[in-house]
Amino acid sequence: MTRKTSAANPVLDRLLFPLAQRFVAGRTIPEAVQAVRRLNQDGIRATLDVLGENVREQRSAVAAVNSYLETLEWIHRSQIESNVSLKLTQMGLDIERQFCYSNVARICHKAAETGNFVRVDMEGSGYTEATLSLFLDLNQSYKNVGIVTQAYLRRSAQDLERINEAKARVRLCKGAYKEREEIAFQRMPEIRESFKRLVEQLFSHGTYPAIATHDDQLIRWTQECIRQNRIGKDQFEFQMLYGVRPETQRALAREGFRVRVYVPYGTHWLPYFSRRLRERKENIYFVLRHLFKR
Ligand code: FDA
């Protein structure tokens, strides 16, 4: 893959990419593979994400598909322990549903050939139903595909029923987009309660769930939940983000839990980096301090 500057603009790229590298494994596949190797050495699996979202042109979506096909080939050849995660708006969901479906199907097909797995990330609420419905269609032909559910959305328990019925794999997270009160819980205690209810729903009716959080309260609660319900450590995964709480990732792996880290890479890093900054005000102060020091 050639080394390109950020899709945003070259000035932002020069100023901010060094900071974004806390959360982004690099611009190229070899850099990302190197990051995955380091995780694998600590007994941690990965899911590689080629950064990109909201593409408006068919050729950008096709380029993203090719990057994923190349990534799957690299995973296979380098024998790293990783699957892939992608976003439907990167695959052309805003352009045309059937075009998007065919693009993701190509990736699922390639992943199936090498015994690999594809996770469809969940984006802002304007895409929830379209993502879920396209995913459920895809799941009829491809069993090596899973989806994400966001605990802050009030609709998520019903969505899980549909997904569990299809026996598909779910990654549960809190949700990273700004959503309206009518459709999404806003306060952390409510989001945590919803998260716990959904974990229970996944453990009782789901298929190999992924519990994606760095929140100690929820991690401890999940550990207690599996202990009480005699659920094996091999029946689910904890998932975390590259660059967030790496000591906790390693500690959980040492305790015998399955841990998978989401490893994003590529040139379209700005929207992803902005979401990571918004999650913690300390991150924003860190960026501002860096910019004013220059
Ligand atoms: P919370 O935000 O409360 O953080 C708990 C602790 O983790 C913090 O106190 C801090 O120590 C650390 N932490 C968390 N975020 C940090 C950050 N940005 N910088 C530094 N420290 C941080 N969302 C979505 O809408 N769609 C998706 O498809 C996905 N996919 C996804 C995959 C995986 C593997 C993970 C872990 C997360 C996602 N997310 C996501 C993001 C998710 O919705 C959520 O925004 C973040 O995980 C932060 O929520 P926590 O549950 O970690 O708790």
pLDDT, tens digit, 9 for 90 and up, residues 22-73 = 999 999 999 999 999 999 999 999 999 999 999 999 999 999 999 999 999 9
- Whether pLDDT at 2 is above 90: no
Which helix H or strand E contains 46, and what residues bound it?
strand 45-50
Q: Which residues line ligand 1 (CB under 6 A)?
A: 121-122, 148, 150, 171, 173-177, 212-215, 239-241, 244-245, 262, 276, 279-280, 283
- The CA distance from 133 to 136, in Å, is 5
Neighbours of 67 (CB within 10 A): 21
Residue 23 · residue 275 · CB < 8 Å: no
Phi-psi region of 289 (alpha: psi -120 to 50; beta: other; left: phi over 0): alpha
Q: What is the pLDDT of residues 247-259, one digit of tens each?
A: 999 999 999 999 9
Distance from the alpha carbon of residue 214 to the mean position of ligand 1, in angstroms: 6
Q: How far is CA 41 from CA 46, 79, 175, in A?
A: 11, 12, 29
Any bridge partners for residue 120, and if so which? 86, 147
0.85 exceeded by pTM: yes
Phi, psi (rounded to 5 degrees) for 171: -100, 125
Residue 27's Cβ-count burial label (10 Å; 0-12, 13-18, 19+) is buried
Contact 200, 226 (CB under 8 A): no
Structure token pair of residue 166:
């299809």
Catalytic annotation present for 171 = yes
User: Over the stretch 206-215, which tens digit does the pLDDT of each residue have?
Assistant: 999 999 999 9
SS3 101: helix
2: how many CB neighbours lie within 10 A of its CB? 6
In eight-state DSSP terms, residue 149 is E
How far, in Å, are 13, 237, 275 from residue 35 at the CA level? Answer: 21, 20, 21
Q: Is the pLDDT of residue 1 over 50?
A: no
- Known active-site residue 121: yes
**What atom in ligand 1 is closest to the CA of residue 47?**
34
CA-CA distances (angstroms) from residue 147 to 30, 111, 131, 201, 229? 26, 15, 9, 15, 24
